[in-house]
Amino acid sequence: MNSLNTEEKKDLEMRLKRIEGQVRGIQKMIEEDKYCVDILTQVSAVRGALKKVGLIILDKHIHGCVQRAIRNDEGDAMIDELMEVLTRFTE
Amino acid sequence: MNSLNTEEKKDLEMRLKRIEGQVRGIQKMIEEDKYCVDILTQVSAVRGALKKVGLIILDKHIHGCVQRAIRNDEGDAMIDELMEVLTRFTE
Amino acid sequence: MNSLNTEEKKDLEMRLKRIEGQVRGIQKMIEEDKYCVDILTQVSAVRGALKKVGLIILDKHIHGCVQRAIRNDEGDAMIDELMEVLTRFTE
Amino acid sequence: MNSLNTEEKKDLEMRLKRIEGQVRGIQKMIEEDKYCVDILTQVSAVRGALKKVGLIILDKHIHGCVQRAIRNDEGDAMIDELMEVLTRFTE
């Protein structure tokens, strides 16, 4: 169970489909002996797109699951878990 | 033209194939209504794997293209270009 | 008003005092013509220490202010504000 | 010995002096019980300013020390060292 509605899922799936295509594009660039700097620019673009995906899910998670847990007096454990995931996300 | 030899290309392609699979896995997690925190953990893992790919390409680029350019007295323009790509990569 | 108690404030102030000293140390390294790589290593260390400070404050903020706001039915605005600060923090 | 000339050193020292002041400002914000989100915004600003300092030193280091080492056929060891520092810097 997560905090994403149908529209949000569709948006995220489109973003991830595009990211998947970009990752395949990077493989092709390597195969076709493209210039390192152009490959690196693409790698940075995909990392940026993945960060955006992460921030969207984070937003929905806090507005949804975390908020719900706090209302049910189970907030503290949920926030500890959130902080762990945030620590990894900012690495 | 880039600075990657056959073995390095193969290693990078394997890494990117795995990343592609992980991105597809994230789409499936969203579709199957998996828990946000688990999805976010996967997003962080893929971003880390992409950073590793970027650092490998950067390493080959500097050892190869940049070193060659410097030996041909064309180092400064090459380094300016490298710094631009580094700035984007650290965003 | 923030969510930090006396002990947490003391811990953060000690961390920031140490960071201040490290920043002064970097100035001295530059002045004394120390090796770039050693200066860069120190810059990375200070950035890491600042990230830790940020994560501590974030933790207290979510456990405190955000949790309180949600209990008072003012959670959504608070979470939107949190997401803005998180977006900047992950830049 | 590093690759910074007098003007570059002066610029970096001014930036670091400003950063030092900002770190002191954050200590004061904590002491005076300022709002967590405002403190976090300042922490992000200082981390950004430190990244800029790092990128400037990196630029001078590659244009200077690394380029010189490559011309003296000692490039590879220098680039390995650079990659280590870059890995830490992107953490």
Q: What is the pLDDT of residues B23-57, one digit of tens each?
A: 999 999 999 999 999 999 999 999 999 999 999 99
- On whether any CB of chain B is under 8 Å from the CB of A89, the answer is yes
Output the pLDDT for position C3.
77
Evaluate whether residue B1 is within a structural domain: no
Q: What residues in chain C have per-residue pLDDT under 50? A: none
Total tally of structural domains belonging to chain A? 1
Instruction: Kindly determine whether residue C79 and residue A86, on different chains, have CB atoms separated by under 8 Å.
Output: no
| CA-wise closest residue to B1 among A52, A33, C85, A85 | A33
Is A1 contained in some domain?
no
pLDDT at D50: 98
Across the interface, of C63, C70, C90, the residue whose CB is closest to A51 is: C90
Kindly determine whether residue C27 and residue D44, on different chains, have CB atoms separated by under 8 Å: no
Q: Give the distance from residue C52's alpha carbon to the nearest chain D alpha carbon, in angstroms.
A: 10
Alpha-carbon distance A59 to A69, whole Å?
15
Note the pLDDT tens digit of each residue in A7-36. 999 999 999 999 999 999 999 999 999 999
D84 located within any domain: yes
Handedness of CA C54, C57, C62, C66 (dihedral sign): negative
Which residue out of C50, C67, C89 would a mutagenesis test of the A interface target, given it has the greatest number of A Cβ atoms within 10 Å? C67
Indicate yes or no: CB of B67 within 8 angstroms of CB of D75: yes
Per-residue pLDDT band for B2 (boundaries 50, 70, 90) equals: confident
Q: By the 8 A CB rule, do C41 and C26 touch?
A: no
Averaged pLDDT, D31-60 = 97
Total residue count of chain A as it appears in this document: 91
CA distance A86 to B74: 43
- Residue A73 CB coordination number (10 Å): 8
The CATH number given to whatever domain includes residue A67 is: 1.20.58.1000
Say if B35 falls within a structural domain. yes
CA angle B63–B64–B65, rounded 5-degree value: 120
Chain D neighbours, 3+ Cβ pairs < 8 A: B, C
What global pTM score does this model have? 0.94
For testing contact with chain B, the best of D67, D85, D89 (most B CBs within 10 A): D67
| CA–CA distance, C59 with D38 (Å, rounded to integer) | 14
What are the b/e assignments for A44-55, b being 16+ CB within 10 Å?
A: bebbeebbebbb
Test D55 with B87 for CB contact under 8 angstroms: yes
Within a domain: residue D3? no
Asked, for residue D25, whether it belongs to a domain, the answer is yes
Please check whether residue A75 lies inside any domain of the structure.
Answer: yes
Note the pLDDT of residue C1: 65
On whether residue D59 sits in a domain, the answer given is: yes
Predicted interface score ipTM higher than 0.90 = yes
Q: Which residue segment(s) compose the domain that B83 sits in?
A: 6-89
